[in-house]
Amino acid sequence: MHHANHFYGHAHILAEYCGLDPDDPPRINGFVQHGWNVVDGLGYGTPYVPGRPILVYSERTRRRAWSMGRRHVTVIGAPFLYLLTMRPEAEDAPEREGTIFYPFHGWENQQVVGDHQRQVEEILETEDGPVTFCLYWNEFQNDQVRESYERYGRVVCHGYRGKQWLDTDRHFLDKQLAELRRHKRVASNRLSSAIFHGVAAGCEPAVYGDPMHLDREDLPMAERIRREWPELHGKHLDMSVAGPSALSELGDGYLASPAELRAILGWSAKARVPA
C-alpha cells in the first residue's frame, strides 16, 4: 500500500465502510487519490508504479488521467462521501452559525508565501457572525502564523495527515465533518478539498482574497483553477451552480457498495468485522 493511501485516514474510512477493522485497514491494491487536484489524481511527486490501479474521486479526474497516459484508472468517489454515509447529521443538531475559513497552506517541502494579516482583515470585513480559522498542521505548528489568527478568533487544526504510515490521525475527516456542521459557511482563499467537503456537509462555499502561493509553485496551474471553476470563486456564490459543481468534483453518484468497493480495493477475501 502506498503510504499516501493512509493520508487523512482515508484507508481507515474505506475499511470501516467495507465492514473491516478501521484501526488496521488492509493493503489497498492501488493508489487512492488523497486530495482534490487538477491533474491525474496522484499527489505532486508521487512515485507511480506503471500498471497499478489509480482510484480517483471523479469522472473528470479519470478523463484527465487518461489524457496523460494513465490507463488503469477507476472512479470510486471521495472517502469523505463514504464517511458521510456512516455519519448522518443528528436531527437535533444545534443551529449552524458563522464561517469556518481554511487559509491556503504549505507542506513539508513547500511553504506558503503571503500576508496573513491582510487576509484576516478581509475575512472579518466579509463574514457575518463568528469566524473559526482552521489551519493545516504545517501552519498550526508555526507560532507566528498561528498567533496572527488567534488574535481575531477561534483557531483549530484537524490533525496531522500522516507520512510513511506514521502519526496518521485517522479521525482527521471526522474532526473536519464535526467542525463543518457547526458553521453556515465554508471559505478559503484557494479552491481546495475543504471547500468541496464543506459543500457536501451542507455549508455555503466562498473562495476569495489573496490566493497566496507556494515557493517554487507552478503559478500557471494555480491561475488555471480560477479560470476553469469560476462558479466556485467569489464571496457569495449561486448555490444552484456552485453546489452541483463541487459535488461533482468529489464524485457524487459514483460511490460503490461495500461489496463492490472490497472488490475494487482487493479486499474481497478479507473477513468482515461483526457489526
What one-character-per-residue DSSP string does 83-150 give? Answer: HHHHSPPPTTPPPP-SEEEE----BTTB-EES-HHHHHHHHHHH--S-EEEE--HHHHT-HHHHHHHH
For range 248-254, the mean pLDDT: 98
Do 135 and 258 fall within a single domain?
no
Q: Is 60 helix (H, G, I), strand (E, B) or coil?
A: helix
Q: Which of 144-148, 247-251, 252-256 has the lowest mean pLDDT?
A: 144-148
| pLDDT tens sequence across 64-107 | 999 988 989 999 999 999 999 999 999 999 999 999 999 987 56
Which pLDDT does position 26 carry in this prediction? 95
Query: Residue 166 maps to which CATH number?
Result: 3.40.50
Asked if residue 136 belongs to a domain, the reply is yes
Q: For 125-178, what is each residue's pLDDT tens digit? A: 999 999 999 998 888 888 888 998 999 999 999 998 887 777 889 999 999 999
Whether residue 93 lies inside any domain: the answer is no
User: Do 105 and 154 belong to one domain?
Assistant: yes
What pLDDT, on a 0 to 100 scale, did the predictor assign at position 77?
98
Euclidean distance between CA atoms 38 and 224, whole angstroms: 9
Average pLDDT, the chain: 90
Going by pLDDT thresholds of 50, 70 and 90, the confidence category of residue 273 is: low
Same domain assignment for residues 107 and 227: yes
Query: 129 and 27 in one domain?
Result: no
- 59-73, 169-183, 221-235, 259-273 — which is least confidently predicted? 259-273
Please check whether residues 125 and 207 belong to one and the same domain.
yes
In a domain, 155, yes or no: yes
Q: Is 274 within the bounds of a domain? A: no
Instruction: Kindly state whether residues 38 and 156 are assigned to the same domain.
Output: no
> Is there a single domain that holds both residue 56 and residue 144?
no
pLDDT for 183-204, tens place per residue? 999 999 999 999 999 999 999 9
What domain range includes position 118?
A: 99-239
Q: What is the pLDDT of residue 270?
A: 66
pLDDT digits (tens, 9 = 90+) for 29-58: 999 999 999 989 987 677 788 889 999 999
Question: What is the pLDDT at residue 51?
Answer: 87
Do 8 and 134 belong together in one domain? no
One domain, residues 135 and 103: yes
User: Rounded CA gap, 235 and 249, in Å?
Assistant: 20
pLDDT at 110: 63
* Same domain (yes/no): 23, 43: yes
The confidence score (pLDDT) of residue 271 equals 53
- The reported pTM is 0.93
State whether residue 73 is helix, strand or coil: strand
Residue 271 in domain: no
In the chain, DSSP assigns E strands to 31-32, 54-56, 73-75, 99-102, 112-113, 131-134, 154-156, 185-188, 204-207, 213-214
Residue 24 domain-assigned (yes or no): yes
For residues 25 and 60, give the distance between their C-alpha atoms in angstroms, rounded to a whole number.
28
Strand extents, DSSP E, 7-47: 31-32
Lowest pLDDT segment from 91-105, 111-125, 230-244: 111-125
Is 213 a member of any domain? yes
- My answer on whether 70 and 106 are in the same domain is no
- What is the distance between the alpha carbons of residues 105 and 135, in angstroms, rounded to a whole number? 8
Sheet of strand 73-75: strand arrangement = 31-32, 54-56, 73-75
Q: How far is CA 269 from CA 15, 25, 70, 259, 261, in A?
A: 13, 13, 27, 11, 12
Q: What's the pLDDT score for residue 224?
A: 87
Residue 232 is assigned to a structural domain of this protein = yes
